[in-house]
Structure 1
Amino acid sequence: MGAAMAVRLSEQGRDVVALYNRTASKAEAVAARVRAPVAGTAREAAEPADVVLVSLGDDDAVLSTYRGADGLTAGLQPDAVVVETSTVDPRIVEEMAQAVAECDAGLIDAPVSGSVPLVQKGELTFMAGGDPRQLELVRPVLDALARQVFHVGGSGAGAAMKLAVNAVVLSLNQVLSEALVLAEAAGIDRSAAYDVLAASAVGAPFVHYKRDAFEHPDDAPVAFSLGLVLKDLSLITGFAERLGVPMEQSVQNRLVAQAAVDAGLGDRDMSAIARYLADRRHTTGSS
């Protein structure tokens, strides 16, 4: 996602001044496309920037990238704004926002709804938390990537909203997988079943853009891995528990995702939940 954002910004005429990835080869592959230098540390990447865009996989990656003598916060210029797009616990956002504020800079937590193809078309949806004045400072950058930018509240609100959105997305993924396996067990061709589902009241955008992944699972690129699905469901259920919100559907989805990861599918696309359910049906002796 971060690589696609950098390329899109460059294509839209925004100055990409430095790139950093914890795996240097990944940054080098993008650098040739955006004509920007690869920084050796997060600090070096942040130093020349007015806007620092961050996209990382989990809480630990965010913490390790921000902290320390070579961390992002050590390189921030006064009045710079960090746009944190990672899907993380809202508590992590609040902690990093405080660290950034101590550098006389600002942080907007702005996770996204959308996939790499939507990045490439500039059609992401950002859900932003933080100071609205700082959001306006970075809006020209976000507008190059987004169809919509929502300001949903103070620091951490964007991260919280992303967990709420993903609770729905991951529930759709689960129930769509179940429905397809149910139809197949009844002798209905998966493609025919998908035709009906896509044309019915449940034909949400997710159902349409995941069609190829569900119909051709062995060839599906990994848009969002089951390992990340499990990570997000753990964040969702943990956050809900802290707030005293019952989320039985997400709890059950997390148990299924954990079982699928334990079955060796963690590196597969999220649509592989259907494969896990089909395999489990056969191993339990159903006919």
Structure 2
Amino acid sequence: MGAAMTARLREAGVDVVLWNRTEARAAGVAAATGARVAATAREAAAAGPVVLVSLADDAACRAAYEGPDGAAAGAGPGTVVADASTVAPRTAVELAELVAAGGGAMLDTPVSGSVPVVERGELTVMAGGEAADLDRARPVLDLLARQVFHVGGHGAGATMKLAVNALVHALNQALSEALVLAERSGVSREAAYEVFANSVAAGPFVQYKRAAFERPDEAPVAFRLDLVGKDLDLILDLAAASGAPMPQAVTNRRVVADAVAAGLGDEDMSVIARHLRGRG
């Protein structure tokens, strides 16, 4: 996702300074896009005034922000950090406090959309934080997004992303089950998916995951299954804290755990269909 964002911004003529925990990855993106590489997260953040962050989980975010070479140390007055990572709302609040302690401002700005959506500049951004800070970040976010929703204060963007992903992961499970049901009952995969794609259930998720479900051996990995498991853990933690009953998410988490245990963690989330095909 970070590589796709860099490419999109560079195509728009934006100067980008990037940093990655894996130096070789940063170098590869820089070579492909013309971005510059920073030696540390602090150096990258200091290049502001808008800093985009996209990392895998809470632990990766904390490691990138904290310490003398962390992003928070580089995000001084006049800098706004827009973090697109999917993390716990409490983590988003704590990172915002860390950035504020150094004089900078932070927004939790997780996104909905895959790499092709980034490439078209059609992400949906869910922003939590101060409205004035969001206004300062908009010139960059608007290059990446079709819609930017300000949903509340710090942590609200992270909360909304977990709610969205709860729905996305439920759709993935339901679509996998329905497809396998049709196949096991004698309808070809392609015929079944054609009907799904033209039925009342034919939302954007059904459309853009079509290749992954119909030709799983050819489609690239867009959302790893182990990250689905991470999301569902965050979702269920938030549900427990807020008292929200989520029986569907509990079921989805169990199925994902079974599939990851079967060695499918690095596969695309659509691999749930293959996992179900292998069960009696």
Match of 2:5 in 1: 5
Identical positions, percent: 60
Match of 2:123 in 1: 124
Asked whether the equivalents of residues 6 and 35 of structure 2 are also in contact (C-alpha less than 8 Å), the reply is no
Asked whether the equivalents of residues 49 and 77 of structure 1 are also in contact (C-alpha less than 8 Å), the reply is no
Deviation at 1:36, TM superposition (A): 2.6
Residues 88-127 of structure 1: matches in 2 within 5 Å?
Answer: 88-127=87-126
Match of 1:201 in 2: 200
Match of 1:68 in 2: 67
3-state SS of the aligned residue for 1:224? coil
Q: Please list the CA deviations of residues 163-202 of structure 1 after superposition, one character each: whole Å capped at 9, or x if unmatched.
A: 0000110000000000011111101101000011111110
Deviation at 1:29, TM superposition (A): 1.0
Deviation at 1:35, TM superposition (A): 2.1
Q: Please list the CA deviations of residues 227-250 of structure 1 after superposition, one character each: whole Å capped at 9, or x if unmatched.
A: 011000111011111100000001
> 5+ unaligned residues in a row in structure 2: which ranges?
none
The TM-score normalised by the length of structure 1 is 0.96
229-238 or 29-38: bigger deviation: 29-38
Cα distance in structure 2, aligned partners of 1:42 and 1:144: 23
Q: Please list the CA deviations of residues 7-41 of structure 1 after superposition, one character each: whole Å capped at 9, or x if unmatched.
A: 1011112221x110001111111112332321121
Q: Please list the CA deviations of residues 213-270 of structure 1 after superposition, one character each: whole Å capped at 9, or x if unmatched.
A: 0011112210001001100011101111110000000111001000000000000000
Matched, 1:169 2:160: no
Residues 9-28 of structure 1: matches in 2 within 5 Å?
Answer: 9-16=9-16, 18-28=17-27
Cα distance in structure 1, aligned partners of 2:203 and 2:71: 38
Match of 1:228 in 2: 227
Q: What is the CA RMSD across the aligned residues, in angstroms?
A: 0.8
> 5+ unaligned residues in a row in structure 1: which ranges?
282-287
> How many residues in Structure 1 have an aligned counterpart in Structure 2?
280
Cα distance in structure 1, aligned partners of 2:43 and 2:15: 16
Asked whether the equivalents of residues 10 and 35 of structure 2 are also in contact (C-alpha less than 8 Å), the reply is no
Cα distance in structure 2, aligned partners of 1:48 and 1:205: 37
The TM-score normalised by the length of structure 2 is 0.98
3-state SS of the aligned residue for 1:144? helix
Match of 2:236 in 1: 237
5-14 or 132-141: bigger deviation: 5-14
3-state SS of the aligned residue for 1:14? coil
For 1:151, the aligned partner's letter is: H
